[in-house]
Amino acid sequence: MANDRSRARREHLARLRAEQRRRERRAAFLMWGAGGFVIVLLIGMVAFYLIRERSVASLDAVRTYNYEGAIHETTRITYKETPPVGGPHNPIWQNCGIYDKPINNETAVHSMEHGAVWITYRPDLPASEVEKLKKHVTGGYVLLSPYPGLPAPVVVSSWNNQLHLTGADDPRLPKYIAKYKQNPTYTPELGAACDGGISDTADQAPLPTPTGDPHAEAEQSPSPTAEGTPSPGSETEAGESPSPEPSASPSPSASGDE
């Protein structure tokens, strides 16, 4: 009888130990499973964030054109793009800086030929948004002005490149400026000045209407591509002969070279 009771106790203890081991294995499995799930979840969240950020800030939507430089006209020019991204332009360039009124396309295009980035915005853009845009006009070679009839709230342009933006907070704006301002691949006259030109707005210095000049209509047919290759002109800053500076004093609403 004593042996039977001893054997029964041993079997009972063995069952208890086995059950304890099963509980420990189950707890370990749950712990490691939960930990693995958390790790996978974190990795997924980080990957989603990185992919989203890359997508939101991607410059893949930049439209690229193929205008040549070094073509000067003294009259108004009808451009195919709004705002223009290249082509014939005025012999005088627009001084880089901030303008509270629209400026002439023709002088702004000349500034882009020198490597400037032109930020344009709809005239009804909230003042708080305009103030944010002004913060991007630093280091020279950036123009900022309102532009009636824009296809987007904000459009940023440079020679042969353009990007439509959702507003002043669009994360692509600083990336665009960093990439395309004085970009040696696209700038026909790299290193040419963005001051010493004209600071008048379009209402202060209206350009004459063309009278039968074929160049004035800017009849070129560039084909926008995702990754176009520009054909910069051979003109250099030293080779151009801009018209004398207008005698009108700069507009108080415009700032000159940064």
Q: Which helix (H) or strand (E) holds 25?
A: helix 2-56
Mean pLDDT is highest, among 130-139, 211-220, 234-243, for 130-139
The residue ranges of every structural domain in the chain are 1-56, 61-258
Name the maximum alpha-carbon separation found in the chain.
127
Token pair in block for residue 74:
């003294």
| Closest to 109 (Cα-Cα) out of 210, 19, 187 | 187
Quote the Cα angle for 134-84-213, to 5°. Answer: 135
The predicted pLDDT at position 236 comes to 37
| Closest to 178 (Cα-Cα) out of 225, 130, 139 | 139
The predicted pLDDT at position 172 comes to 97
Q: What is the mean pLDDT of residues 165-183?
A: 97
- pLDDT band of residue 114 (cuts 50, 70, 90) is very high
Rounded to an integer, what distance in angstroms lies between the CA atom of residue 8 and that of residue 2?
10
pLDDT tens-digit series, residues 129-156: 999 999 999 999 999 999 999 999 999 9
| Closest to 161 (Cα-Cα) out of 58, 60, 23, 26 | 60
- pLDDT band of residue 54 (cuts 50, 70, 90) is low
